[in-house]
A and B are shown apart, each in its own frame.
Chain A
């Protein structure tokens, strides 16, 4: 009985989502989801926690304490990657790379500036985060490049690192099709980001 109720809720949410695409445009639906996501989450999670007997205030502050550690932990990585990116960009080497890749990137409507981030992403999360921050600093958070870099960062993963850690942890040496399918997914994420970004902010 409980399962049935869950199914009804799930299907009505999915149904509403699908229906909304017919009534409103893609852009409108995207905007509404982005606006509602945070308010909904900061209400639902604490309310649910309270109902389950969690001391919401104390637990919140306990988690918030980790925020400092996360921010401080990434400083060395940011400095390292900014050193490389700073040298690469200020020298004009970035312009040369962008120019070389432009025949390919222009075709899918991807600004050459985000290519280094796309290349770094599967190898190093903090490295790619550094490049994304740099793009946002140089071009502005609300520029097309700034938005595209943000979306791309959110929709891809540190694939090589995760595969190495996970398979390493159980001593598997032959990873078979794990890497090609994960990399294909990253590529799909990059292309989808470009298309969606053009549709919304182009």
Chain B
């Protein structure tokens, strides 16, 4: 998907520039042509300009990313996640009614979501995969997602983000007067999207379309295909 988008953006860009090189002007008196290479040379210039900017930008990020990852390393080592996890447990038990509260899956779900909230990035992906593996143990049909897995997915893709570190870093590198001013808006917007995610999963999982039974046949047929 990303390959096609990338390629078509380049092709469309060059094509549009090439068409503009013809310099077609339509007036009531007729169609005029004023050919010039200006649009294409502009494009060349811009492409080189941007690739240089990519490196400037990335180097500008080093300081703040280092600062943030340093702080986060302390959070990780001190076990701050477990404190947040403990506070979130009552809520999580309600959001995942299919998971028994004392099941290991509940623990790993809470840990993973706490790490995502803190913006722990690299540390949160393995925790998320662990949570998924633990939920899979409780899954009756191994190739069909459970309600809990879908809910977990919806929460983690919309997750409340407390500190969007990379974005703050990019804003600083670009010379913003107040790079951190986006923190509260991001918290507010992610609060909205998380709420929508939860409401949507709870509604959609009841729809006849998304019932597990509907997928059983499709899966059985696929298994038959693989055998033959």
Contacts and interface: CB of A to CB of B under 8 A. Distances in A.
Interface of A: 6, 10, 29-35, 37-38, 41-42, 45-46, 48-49, 51-52, 54, 56, 59-68, 70-72, 74-75, 78-93, 96, 120, 123-124, 127, 129-130, 132-134, 136-137, 140-142, 146-147, 150-160, 162-163, 165-167, 169-178, 180-182, 184-186, 188-189, 192-193, 196-197, 200
B95 interface: no
Contact of A142 (B76, B150, B178): B178
Nearest to A166: B132
Given A90-B17, A133-B57, A186 B143 contact: no
Given A171-B143, A192-B192, 19 more contacts: A31-B181, A35-B180, A64-B69, A82-B47, A90-B39, A90-B46, A150-B182, A150-B186, A154-B182, A155-B190, A157-B157, A160-B1, A173-B144, A176-B205, A181-B201, A185-B197, A188-B195, A196-B188, A196-B189
From A67, A96, A193, name the one whose CB has the most chain B CB atoms within 10 angstroms: A67
The 6 A-B residue pairs whose C-beta atoms are closest, nearest first, are A63-B73, A67-B66, A87-B13, A141-B176, A90-B46, A185-B197
Contacts of B129: 165-166, 169
B46 A67 contact: no
B192 A37 contact: no
Contacts of A72: 58
Contacts of B34: none
Contacts, number: 374
Contacts of A157: 156-159
B96 interface: no
A84 B7 CA distance: 8
* Size category, B interface: 35 or more
Contacts of A169: 129, 132-133
B59 interface: yes
Contacts of A85: 9, 50
Contact of B197 (A42, A70, A182): A182
A176 B210 contact: yes
Contacts of B47: 82-83, 86-87, 90
B157 A162 contact: yes
18 contacts: A30-B185, A30-B188, A34-B180, A59-B73, A63-B72, A87-B9, A87-B46, A133-B57, A142-B177, A154-B189, A156-B193, A167-B153, A172-B149, A176-B205, A184-B196, A192-B192, A196-B188, A200-B185
Contacts of A184: 196-197, 200
Contact of B70 (A67, A71, A93, A154): A67
B75 interface: yes
Given A54-B74, A74-B58, A92 B20 contact: yes
A123 B5 contact: yes
A167 B154 CA distance: 13
Contact of A63 (B71, B128, B170, B179): B71
Contact of A54 (B20, B78, B186, B187): B78
Contacts of B74: 45-46, 49, 54, 56, 59-60, 63
